[in-house]
Amino acid sequence: MLDAAAELLDEFGADALSTSAIAARAGVSVGSLYQFFPDRNAVSEALARRSFERFSEQLAGVSGATWQDVVDGVIDTYVEFSRTEPGFLVISFGGPLGQLYLLDPQDDNNAVVAKALHQMVDLDVSVEVLRNAIEVGDALIGLAFRRAKDGDPDLVSEAKIAVKAYLSAHLPPAG
């Protein structure tokens, strides 16, 4: 059912995401869908959590000789994931229902990502500094994907520059 929801998001956008459309695409009855998800918001939340788990698995392989290399690796991983993970572009950049709390009802999505990234990636900054960097990068990468289906490479480069410039005020120079 989550695969069906992701396909609908990719093909038709957020407006096409309804419980009846998801059930039809998945080849199940609406009643079967309701056994697992009370509404389309619940489907969106489950899809966002699944995507976040998959993205987190890919981040586990990010490393680098310098913190700048790590930032480049995280952004490259995020961009590639955005290109390949079904439904992710719609969920990540604006959300299917305009929800900022798909991953956790107490914290917005980027705060959840910052906390997880803080534990996974070796950057000696606070969670709040990392969250600010994520907000900067997310805004520019979102613009990159609005400008080009696969993400405007010039804007992706600008996102790397902006995030590293911000973090450079909080981290030592490369050495």
Range 100-139 burial, b when 16+ CB lie within 10 A, else e: eebbeeeebbbbbbbebbbeebebebeeebbbbbbbbbbe
In whole angstroms, give the CA distance from residue 171 to residue 174.
Answer: 9
In whole angstroms, give the CA distance from residue 170 to residue 130.
Answer: 10
**163: nearest Cα among 116, 108, 123:** 123
In whole angstroms, give the CA distance from residue 77 to residue 90.
Answer: 17
Task: Summarize pLDDT for 58-101 with one digit per residue, the tens.
Answer: 988 888 888 899 899 999 999 999 999 999 888 876 555 556 66
Using alpha carbons, list the distances in angstroms from residue 101 to 35, 46, 115. Answer: 23, 12, 14
Task: Summarize pLDDT for 100-148 with one digit per residue, the tens.
Answer: 666 667 777 778 788 888 887 777 889 899 999 999 999 999 999 999 9
| Structural contact between residues 83 and 60, judged by C-beta atoms closer than 8 angstroms | no
**Helix (H) or strand (E) run with residue 105 in it:** none
**Domains of the chain: residue spans and CATH:** 45-168 (1.10.357.10)
The more confidently predicted of residues 115 and 1 is 1
Q: Residue 162: exposed, middle, or buried by beta-carbon count in 10 A (0-12, 13-18, 19+)? A: middle
pTM, full prediction:
0.85
Task: Summarize pLDDT for 11-44 with one digit per residue, the tens.
Answer: 998 888 899 999 999 999 999 999 999 999 899 8
